Structure 1
Amino acid sequence: MTDSVKPRVARGADKRRRLTAAAAQVLHEQGVERTTLADIARVADVPVGNVYYYFKTKDELVRAALTEHSAHLDELTRRLDEMTDPRDRLKALIEAWVGQRDIAARYGCPTGTLAVELDKRADGTLDAEAGAVIRRLLDWAGQQFRALGLPDPDDLAVTLISAYQGMSLLANALRDPEIMTREGARLLGWLDALEAPHQSS
């Protein structure tokens, strides 16, 4: 690759990255149906004509947004995995949710709201891709409960993630971020109360 080509490739990668991040943000804030390619181009600070070079359809941008959500989840769980205690990891996850309470109250859960909206469409498989991102979080949470030696770890993961989706939905519907604060505290207490069964000697 010549030196003159390298900067063009780097600029192209930067534009694609900015468009992907903008898609995740705008689709979360406006929803799929209300979002145009021009909206995403404006937030990404990319000429709208350039969008079609990287993404031919809005569905491709939705898929890119889901990839962005997945990358954010990977980054979060990677940081949490640096903690030695699985219970502390789960608590830090809840605290991260509560830390996003103002955004949740305004727009809901990024992946959850997208999954619900995509499920209403009868023209593709993007709803399954949104569900796959949520499944990854469920799997990670299940691993933490399993590491704690708790019975039914996958069911406990469903309880935890369901609680998050519920409090995000209510905070959004009622425009009340303090729902996240209160329910987050309740979830922390629930985690503290969970005990592994005693092993008989």
Structure 2
Amino acid sequence: MWHDIFVPDIPTAEKAVRTVLVYLAVYLLLRLVGRRDLAQLNTMDLVVVLLLSNVVQDAVIGPDFSVTGGVIGAVVLMAADWAMVRVRTRWYWAWRLFEGRTNVLVRDGRYDRRTMWRLGVRKADVEQVVRRDGGSDVGDAKRVMLEPQGTLRVELHHAKRSATAGQIDALEERLSRIEDLLRERTGSGPGGGGEEGEEKGGRNGRR
């Protein structure tokens, strides 16, 4: 029993090669087909991801059901992902090669249907992101872009941009300072207007 649990049925080197090859193959498939942010996955996307993990399972583990073999596969998988991240971070050409570039889906309120069809992005996804960022419809968007990480980013026309709570607070603070300066200059602030008030009172008294 202990032999079956802890002794791998295939060599460690073969296990590592299998894991790295499957990792690269799945990465390239997702890169070619197009990726979206996890929050934007629909039911069909989720089914594909679940089935994909089940399909490549045997290719990763091979004829090995030992705990040690599973741990080795997990360690190799995490190490491959760590190395991939470091390579993309260090060299820009590697980032462009593995991550791709930003794709514009909407420009000046008009859909780029060819790009959306190629990337598998629906109009409903774009409209939802535009409304989430403060627009009423796609016509309010200057550009909608699909980032390499799969995130949809919206740039609204200047007149359609909504202010954040922090911007409103900063504007109110600035207006308050302007009002204080105006009161000081006109002499209507606290303790102000003494000489002007006396002068006006003297004029009224002489009249």
Choose between structure 1 and 2 for higher RCO, CA contacts under 8 A separated by at least 6 residues.
Answer: 1
Structure-2-length-normalised TM-score: 0.27
Q: Which structure has the highest strand share of the two?
A: 2
Structure-1-length-normalised TM-score: 0.28
